[in-house]
Amino acid sequence: MARTATLTFEGKKIEFPVIEGSEGELGMDISKLRAQTGLITLDPAYGNTGACTSAITFIDGEKGILRYRGVPIEQLAEKSNFIETAFLLIFGHLPNQEEALRFRRRLTDNAHLHEDFKHHFQGFPTDAPPMAILSAMINTLACFEHKFLKIGDNESFEEAAASLISKVRTIAAYTYRKSRGLPYVYPDPNRRYVSNFLHMMFSRPYQDYHVDEDVEDALNMVLLLHADHEQNCSTSTVRMVGSADASLYSSAAAGVCALWGKLHGGANVEVLEMLEKIQTSGMSIEDFLKRVKDKSELLMGFGHRVYKNFDPRAKILKAACDKVLAKIGIKNEPMLDIARRLEEAALKDSYFVDRKLYPNVDFYSGIIMKAIGIPLNMFTVMFAIGRMPGWIAQWREQHADKSTRIARPRQIYTGPTLQDYVEPDKRA
């Protein structure tokens, strides 16, 4: 029998259908709430609001579970790579050989930026924040790829997805080159996705950067772990913009803007700055945590809206840190030591235990990125490259859903009630 939830309001009982997800998650369908009761819900920051159904990513925050299309993140981190995982997220299954080959070819064919597009980089000051450039340039892509503004069949969607995943990497690398006053390096069709990114970042004319396989693997894993995270702030932004039937480009550009925030993707920069501050100031871990507990600081890289046990991505990255650093030949990374001591102290402290605050994905990702030579101001850009497949998958799912309507939350108005306009000479 279909389950319902009953709401009693002013003596009247109203029944609402209860929707059950494939993992047993329950939600009350209140889409008829206002029509039937005159009420709306008030849920600031949407902590209790499901804005859509989705078959892409499953999270159980209490148990620390994260799965892409049902596949545990731990298995993907061990066996897959970023591009295969991107395909899985967007198209719902792991690619067979032919699909994998076709998708890779599309990525390679779409790696180049139009020569005229490149001139846009010149307009930015050298010290422009890379996330601002990234978002502007993704929007600018719409001027060069008209054919993808209206996406029709699966074929053209795959082409558009490949173009965006490939070009976001080229744009990111060029953003860095611009900030250093270095010449742009063209994508190399013979390199894999991550290796090509490192090549465009660090090669110099007539002096190819040697891509260490361990570095490539580590970056692949970092990108893969960031690839989707259901209805987080930036993904909800992508869906919000997409619901107006805005293009994939403008929706993704909006996602970049949301991700930039320091409570979201920008946290990876803040974590490293925090560790550096603790190191250079000579402050003890205890003194720093005291400041956090009296709310003068946030412990960056800690806490999550959904994970109330542990963030499985942080667990993988923590374990990977030692391995990656050892492989790259870094014996003692002081930041890693501070991070470990911070985590250990916080996890014993009732302030963090009572609030269920655990390290999140950003706590250890910065240490790995720093070790493999990614500059600090590019950390959040790396998160954006990683999250692009998730945004594309969510945008696609939203557009395939016939019940999608423009997203339009309501409000409870708390301003003045009706009052007359006051002539300028009569104002106090």
**Could you give the residue numbers annotated as active site?**
304, 362
Site for ligand CMC in 196-255 (CB under 6 A): 232
Q: Should residue 265 be labelled a site residue for ligand CMC when binding is judged by CB under 6 A?
A: yes
- Three-state DSSP at 193 gives helix
- Compute the least distance from the CB of residue 270 to ligand CMC, in Å: 7
Q: Are 314 and 361 in contact (CB under 8 A)?
A: yes
Smaller CB separation from ligand CMC, 187 or 301: 301
Answer for which of 32, 291, 305, 323 binds ligand CMC (CB under 6 A) is 305
Smaller CB separation from ligand CMC, 211 or 224: 224
Task: Lay out the site mask for ligand CMC across 267-286 (x = CB under 6 A, - = otherwise).
Answer: x-------------------
- Compute the least distance from the CB of residue 198 to ligand CMC, in Å: 24
Count residues near ligand CMC (CB under 6 A): 19
Smaller CB separation from ligand CMC, 147 or 305: 305
- Compute the least distance from the CB of residue 42 to ligand CMC, in Å: 16
Answer for which of 130, 303, 386, 389 binds ligand CMC (CB under 6 A) is 303
Quick one: which H or E segment has residue 373? none
In sequence order, the 6+-apart residues with CB closer than 8 A to the CB of 98 are none
- Three-state DSSP at 5 gives strand
Q: Are 360 and 303 in contact (CB under 8 A)?
A: yes
| Cross-strand bridge partners of residue 68 | 57, 71
Q: Should residue 173 be labelled a site residue for ligand CMC when binding is judged by CB under 6 A?
A: no
Q: Are 151 and 248 in contact (CB under 8 A)?
A: yes
Answer for which of 120, 167, 239, 304 binds ligand CMC (CB under 6 A) is 304
- Give the range of 113-121, 161-169, 215-223, 257-265 binding ligand CMC by CB under 6 A: 257-265
Q: Should residue 299 be labelled a site residue for ligand CMC when binding is judged by CB under 6 A?
A: yes
Tokens of 173: 């690398």
Smaller CB separation from ligand CMC, 120 or 229: 229
Q: Are 72 and 48 in contact (CB under 8 A)?
A: no
Smaller CB separation from ligand CMC, 104 or 239: 239
Q: Which ranges of 124-185 would DSSP assign to H, the alpha helix?
A: 130-144, 154-180
Sequence-separated contacts (24+) of 142-146 with Cβ below 8 Å: 142/247, 142/249, 142/250, 144/114, 144/116, 144/117, 145/249
- Compute the least distance from the CB of residue 291 to ligand CMC, in Å: 10
- Compute the least distance from the CB of residue 351 to ligand CMC, in Å: 7
Smaller CB separation from ligand CMC, 253 or 292: 292
Answer for which of 101, 263, 326, 353 binds ligand CMC (CB under 6 A) is 263
Answer for which of 360, 365, 380, 394 binds ligand CMC (CB under 6 A) is 360
Q: Which ranges of 329-407 would DSSP assign to H, the alpha helix?
A: 334-346, 350-354, 361-371, 379-400
Closest C-alpha to 322, from 312, 310, 332, 314? 332
Look at the alpha carbons of 27, 32, 34, 37 in this order and tell me if their dihedral is positive or negative: negative
Smaller CB separation from ligand CMC, 187 or 386: 386
Task: Lay out the site mask for ligand CMC across 337-356 (x = CB under 6 A, - = otherwise).
Answer: ------------------x-
Q: Are 118 and 174 in contact (CB under 8 A)?
A: yes
Chain centroid to Cα 397, Å, comes to 17
- Compute the least distance from the CB of residue 165 to ligand CMC, in Å: 19
Quick one: which H or E segment has residue 88? helix 82-91
Q: Rounded distance, CA 345 to CA 286, Å?
A: 8
- Compute the least distance from the CB of residue 393 to ligand CMC, in Å: 17
Q: Are 248 and 160 in contact (CB under 8 A)?
A: yes
Residue numbers at the binding site for ligand CMC (CB under 6 A): 232, 263-265, 267, 292, 298-305, 355, 357, 360-362
